[in-house]
Chain A
């Protein structure tokens, strides 16, 4: 229970950060040329000044900036993100519709990167400076330097256009109506390439961290003791080394959550996935500032939640942390 208390305190401490972000971005967006009404009028193919004035009044855009900010924050406290004039729905609804693909994509990429990063890191650390290590480390460097959107495009060329194994984009087949397990399989097939694309760079990072922290732990005295008492290598690694080597990996998940969310903007655009990242891109293009602000809020919230989960995980892996709290 102390763990929850500790994590809860960290969560509460992030509320001021959240408000700082919102106020900052809100003020920033005030500097943008044109507002929602301008965009709306342009979409309608123009209109007279009187209509514009009325619309501005309707959206509360005729108030002073501090009043608008106070208005926005007050709505936010009640989890009301305002109205998206471009999509014709409340921003919260639009975001909720777009959230599942992104969360699915992030979870899948994270699991992929974490698992393979861990395995290849362990292999590399066990063959330090021999050929498997050299091969894995070189691949890691190349993955790290590969722009994800380019990797995605090349994967489409190979797997969708030439081999025709996997779909080139979209979240599911819209041609046929599927239900149950068939729908799940279909979505999974659509997510393979985006997952690889988004996960690749993180795989490279996890691999490097895992290799380094394994090497560090393998040299500690208690590992020598474990070996001295005759445990075989697998048991030493699984029972003694891994748990401690995992700590830096877990820390990294929290630190990379934001980067991953940013990366999904690009990956979702490559594979035309109807997710939050794609929505962010669309709202920039269409100048839908209300939606953009909502996305900023939700993504900051998402990062905070991931960090909260990481705190809990951390305390499980290293009991000393909760004892100190």
Chain B
């Protein structure tokens, strides 16, 4: 409970949490507030924000309600960010755990693969994956997860290297526990906290990756994604710049919220680092 108290003592962490809850609330209430398809035509195109009570945030190039797209976009961003992060962390922890625990040639091979993924710019790899497997919501999410696992893998490996010869592991070994039991049951729970804190970084980056992909029109065009809207607004940037500006702020706020919560968690869980 100490950690919770420490978390709420930091104003930045509290602001982050409030923002994140607001984004989650948007995602949940989207269906109730805007029961119609957010990509359906709603009115005249290019209505400026705050000029028509029906469209508080205005309409886009083809007359779709921007506010509705922002609310549904929260769903897409959180969904893609969350699922991609789970995929990346799952692959990363497994790779890192085996590399760190076994060392030797297992470590060598796994780290070579990790290095190969790190040498390749992840956005370029993402382009290749999307070019090959297409850009539905599912493939884009999995692709983002696949390009994001190396960093968690390195982190897990480092944790395993420092934990694998600790007394509690040796005790387990003397008791005759098998490797898999030791890795999953004993070491992993101890190695996990920093990895989970790091997951917030992965999530923030995943949301940014998806929005960039959508902006380039390489993400799923059939969902209301913030990046899609920015890409659309680019065509009318000269005069109707608000079409691009509004969803950008939504992305900024979401990524900021996720980062602040992650940092708050980190400070709350590792109080020694905070005192500096």
Contacts and interface: CB of A to CB of B under 8 A. Distances in A.
A101 interface: no
A147 B120 contact: no
> For chain B, which range describes its interface: under 10, 10 to 19, 20 to 34, or 35 or more residues?
35 or more
B132 A32 contact: yes
Contact of A28 (B128, B234, B241): B128
Contacts of B255: 144-147
A242 interface: no
B116 A20 contact: yes
B131 A32 contact: yes
A17 B218 CA distance: 28
Most buried by B among A141, A147, A255, A303: A147
Contacts, number: 145
Interface in B216-263: 216, 218, 227, 230, 233-234, 237-238, 241, 244-245, 248, 251-253, 255-256, 259-260
B218 A266 contact: no
Contacts of B212: 147-149, 266
B256 A262 contact: no
B162 to A, nearest CB: 19
Nearest to B118: A258
A21 B112 CA distance: 10
A147 B249 CA distance: 9
A114 B146 CA distance: 29
Interface stretch (A151-159, A181-189, A191-199): A151-159
B120 A265 contact: no
A248 to B, nearest CB: 15
Contacts of B253: 145
B105 to A, nearest CB: 14
Nearest to B127: A284
Contact of B121 (A25, A148, A258, A284): A258
A281 B218 CA distance: 9
B117 to A, nearest CB: 8
Given A29-B132, A259-B121, A281-B216, A150 B244 contact: yes
B218 A142 contact: no
Contacts of A24: 116
Contacts of B123: 259, 261-263, 265-266
Interface residues of A, number: 51
Contacts of A261: 121, 123-124
Secondary structure call for the A interface: helix
A14 interface: yes
Contact of B119 (A18, A31, A157, A269): A18
B113 interface: yes
Given A150-B251, A284-B130, A299-B124, A145 B230 contact: no
Contacts of A28: 128-129, 132
Interface string B129-165: 1111100000000000000000000000000000000
A144 B259 contact: yes
B112 A16 contact: yes
A161 interface: yes
Given A25-B128, A259-B121, A281-B216, 19 more contacts: A16-B112, A18-B119, A28-B129, A28-B132, A32-B131, A146-B255, A147-B248, A149-B230, A150-B215, A150-B248, A153-B237, A156-B237, A161-B237, A161-B241, A216-B276, A258-B121, A261-B124, A284-B127, A303-B119
Interface of B: 12, 112-113, 115-116, 118-133, 204, 208, 211-212, 215-216, 218, 227, 230, 233-234, 237-238, 241, 244-245, 248, 251-253, 255-256, 259-260, 276
Q: Which 10 A-B pairs have the closest CB atoms?
A: A262-B123, A150-B248, A145-B255, A262-B121, A145-B256, A258-B121, A261-B121, A32-B132, A284-B131, A20-B116
26 contacts: A14-B119, A17-B112, A17-B116, A28-B132, A29-B128, A141-B256, A144-B259, A145-B251, A147-B211, A150-B251, A153-B234, A153-B248, A154-B241, A215-B276, A258-B119, A259-B121, A259-B123, A262-B124, A262-B126, A265-B216, A280-B124, A284-B131, A296-B125, A299-B121, A303-B119, A303-B121
